[in-house]
Amino acid sequence: MTHSPGKPLLTANQVTFARLALLPIGSWLLYQGVRGQWVALVFMTIVGCTDFVDGWLARKYGPTVLGGLMDPIADKVFVAVTFLPMIDLGWLPGYIVGLLFVREFVVTAARTAYERRKVSLKTSYLAKVKTWFQMCAGALIFLYRTVQDPRAMDIVVIAIWALPVLGGVVQYAIKRRVWRGIVVWFFAWGALAAATIAFGGVWASIGVGWAVLAITFASGGAYLVGMKDLPGTGRVDLHDVVRLFGSFTLPALVAALLVKHHALREAFLTGHASAPAWPAWPIITAISIEFAIGGLDNLLAHNKQLPGWPGWLARVGAQAVLLGAALAIAVRDPASPLVQPLTMATLAITLTSAAIVFYRNRAVYLGDLEKAPTRPAADSAR
């Protein structure tokens, strides 16, 4: 069987969607004991590296509207299914991960606000570094919490720091060009290697969490600083308020629930609780889908197809009420059987909303704007 030279055997979109489909497996493996966690490390590393593959395919054969949209969504979902279980496993404090996701949601909401006002933002170099720093930091935190021999961990961290730097030196010797990423890597990971040797894995892993939080907020600063200078009226309207409400509320409630879930899970494993913990996967899945919905809205806003704010408020309000009720019950009785139905209901609302949004706006996502529905002028910022 022969293939047209102009068409690849595998498209960039197929790689991106495959990455999205495989990510839940890596999250599940994290809960399968130490052996499963090592498998998760290898598996998620391979899945993460597919980002290079779909990028190469997109450059060689040309990008698509849907591919350009789904690639950053896949990156955010990767971070969600990696870092949220870290709260549940006790690897990172809930407030660090909660703040991390507040930033991600706020920036997504800011992008929509810009697009509604016909302002397109280019991804900064720091934002690209941030994504890979988050992924690498997730693997490093895993190693901190899994490798038992401190000396072995010191060697691993030094190797992670030194090998890319050596590669950068070789590149400079051959091409006489300095790769900026290596300079960032040299100082950032050099500091982490020093912290590992000085303080040990547990404290160093928390330090890595703070480092991720710092670079994540720094990369998002450019999006937020310019909000006051938006064209048109530039005033914050109900669209913006509803999205900002969800950006702060949902990550905070999810992080707090996972902290409670971790405490109950540990109590059961140590024999101090008679009932196993309610499952965490519904809220991890719901927050991951919310990332996708936010990213899809960026494209809708760009094409003047963004739905009105009442639908957003209905979904986010329902999620906040359900998660808030689940948290209130979990605070009083962490093992209450009422928590699981509330989290499952949250997931059901999120899934249903995502399916409706994607179906109604499929013409926009696939680049067929002639078939896109007509939105009332009141939905745009004026």
Calculate the dihedral angle through the C-alpha atoms of 119, 124, 126, 129, rounding to the nearest 10 degrees. Answer: 120
Amino acid at 50: T
Q: What is the count of structural domains for the chain? A: 2
Q: Where among 229, 256, 279 does a domain terminate?
A: 229
Indicate whether 260 belongs to any domain: yes
Residues 237 and 368 in one domain: yes
Residue 278 belongs to domain spanning: 64-119+233-382
Q: Where among 229, 247, 278 does a domain terminate?
A: 229
pLDDT in tens, 309-323: 888 899 999 999 999
Q: Where among 229, 244, 261 does a domain terminate?
A: 229
Mean pLDDT of 171-182: 76
Residues 263 and 329 in one domain: yes
Indicate whether 131 belongs to any domain: yes
Tell me which range, 24-38, 140-154, 336-350, is most confidently predicted by mean pLDDT.
336-350
Residues 180 and 292 in one domain: no
Residues 243 and 311 in one domain: yes
Indicate whether 101 belongs to any domain: yes
Q: Confidence class of residue 71 from pLDDT cuts 50, 70 and 90?
A: confident
Q: Are 129 and 208 in contact (CB under 8 A)?
A: no
Residues 245 and 206 in one domain: no
Instruction: Give the mean pLDDT of the chain.
Output: 81
pLDDT in tens, 208-222: 888 889 888 888 776
Looking at 49-53, 178-182, 309-313, which range is the least confident one?
A: 178-182
